Amino acid sequence: MNLAGRIALVTGSSRGIGRGCALELARAGCHVALNYWSTPAEDADATAADIHALGREALVVPADVSRRDECERLVAATLERFGRIDILVNNAGTSKRKPLLEQPVEEVEHVWGVNLWSVFHMSQLVARHLTARADPAADCNGKIVVISSVLAEVPMLTSLAYNTSKAGLNHMARTMAGELARYRINVNTIEPGWTDTPGERRFVSEDDIQREARTLPWGRLVGSDEIGHACAFLCSDQANSITGATLRVDGGYCLPWRRPAEA
């Protein structure tokens, strides 16, 4: 997959799945604008250093992508540095796990702000840029990838806000794909399964993660680099005819069986 010279903007890309996507896009040839907000700045700087080591350029922009003005600033900074945006990966996300009867409204609003509103804001802003410079004769004029989750379809209990936001993202992406097809702009969704990320450790102990991972059909968690491989493929010319699709990368999480617990 040759993405040499293309410019990618990846939200929530200092670590985890966002970092995996940023690094794989860089390996394929992209220069990358990295975004972070609630994670340590050192993580974003480390990801930028890894991209530089691959011979690509990296820009680090802290921004709260749940806010429209911050999204505008992020897009403007990327355009100022690189002159254009070819690829947008909407990865920024958060979760607050509590039972329905106990969850404060403010937590739900925060999750929906980061997970849903950020994708609307960023996609609209970047799509306006892409359509303004679209070449009617080109086979593709840009790529938008939305990182959703298998929990859009398989609801995890105590994760109502997150589950709902990801289900909404799937339909948002399909709608955007339909509207942007006339401009030859691809919009696709990736549904990661249970993925090995630092954020997962906020909710589950390392021992529990390793024990439960062995019960999954593939016998392990998905790697963030594997999500990155899927992302790079969807952003490549080989995927120009793929739009409005959902690519599940879950190691069989959604299959109706599990390995024995002792396996």
Tens of pLDDT, residue by residue over 104-158, are 999 999 999 999 999 999 999 999 999 999 999 999 999 999 999 999 999 999 9
Q: Is 162 assigned a catalytic role? A: yes
3-state SS class at 88: strand
Residue ranges and CATH numbers for the domains of the chain are 7-249 (3.40.50.720)
In this predicted structure, what is the pLDDT of residue 262? 63
Angle at 230 between CA 94 and CA 158, to 5 degrees: 30
For residue 2, give every residue at least 6 positions away whose Cβ sits within 8 Å of its Cβ, in sequence order, or none: 28, 29, 236, 237
In this predicted structure, what is the pLDDT of residue 251? 95
In this predicted structure, what is the pLDDT of residue 263? 46
pTM: 0.95
% of residues, the chain, pLDDT over 90:
90
Predicted confidence band of residue 162 (pLDDT cuts 50, 70, 90): very high
Long-range contact list for 169-175, CB < 8 A, 24+ apart? 169/90, 169/115, 169/116, 169/119, 170/146, 170/246, 172/116, 172/119, 172/120, 172/123, 172/146, 173/119, 173/144, 173/146, 173/148, 173/244, 173/246, 174/244
Instruction: In whole angstroms, give the CA distance from residue 124 to residue 36.
Output: 19
pLDDT digits (tens, 9 = 90+) for 204-238: 788 888 888 999 999 999 999 999 999 999 999 99
Strands (E), 22-112: 31-36, 58-62, 87-90
